[in-house]
Amino acid sequence: MNGLAPPGNMRFIAFAVIFSAGYLCSSAFTHPRGEWTKLILTQHWPQTFCKMEHCKTDFSYWTLHGLWPNTGVRCNTSWHFNASLIEDILPEMEKFWPDLLEPSSPKFWNYEWTKHGTCAAKSESLNSEHKYFGKALELYHKFDLNSVLLKNQIVPSEKHYTLEDVEEAITSAYGVKPKIQCVHPGMGGQVQILGQIEICVDRDFQLMGCEKSSEDAWSSDFPTVPVSGQSGLSVCDHSMPVYYPPVQA
């Protein structure tokens, strides 16, 4: 015997070393199984959306923007949206998750399913279109921003609020801190416009804070194109008054 391993054994050893190195490198930087750890239930104020997108809407309540896993985007582009699979909840979708730009089109739901739903589907509890959209509607009703804000006398009007008013109303109702986003004024402006509110849940759909972690790979779908001298949507400024625009006649 010359002490050398047979060629077949050498190939096995080399493969084992490469595989182990690759596993250690990947597991050091990813969540186990590469799955998301939280969902962001995102609701937006239609009047603010239409200020940014130059549309008109008479919705007088917060509507769903999406249900977003904190990791992954377009996880399965071959899994195409099929409206017939959610036919029984379409009336509810049209009412609470409308496409504000094209009300009669399923384009918005198609986009949300492709970008976010196929990633949420990595969890068994959300592994179909019906489960995904149905759970989003369920959470929307459970965490009813419209009622919470109204109960705290925060209503669409020409008056201004502090960010603390809005934040405290939601935090006291749910016990966790939301992420609140506004359209910020242009140079010299002094008022920000309330636009979007995110409430977060864990994999068991229990409330958790929305603080962004290093794992988070999602990004807002809200338009960020400046309009009328205003900036795009981003986290609200605590030092600036908040305008909650009423429905335009």
Q: Which residues are catalytic?
A: 65, 112, 116
d(CA 101, CA 59): 12
Q: For the chain, first and last CA: distance in Å?
A: 93
Maximum pairwise Cα distance, the chain: 93
d(CA 61, CA 70): 26
**Other C-beta atoms within 10 Å of 114: how many?**
18
d(CA 182, CA 163): 10
**C-alpha count within 13 angstroms, C-beta hemisphere, residue 178:** 25
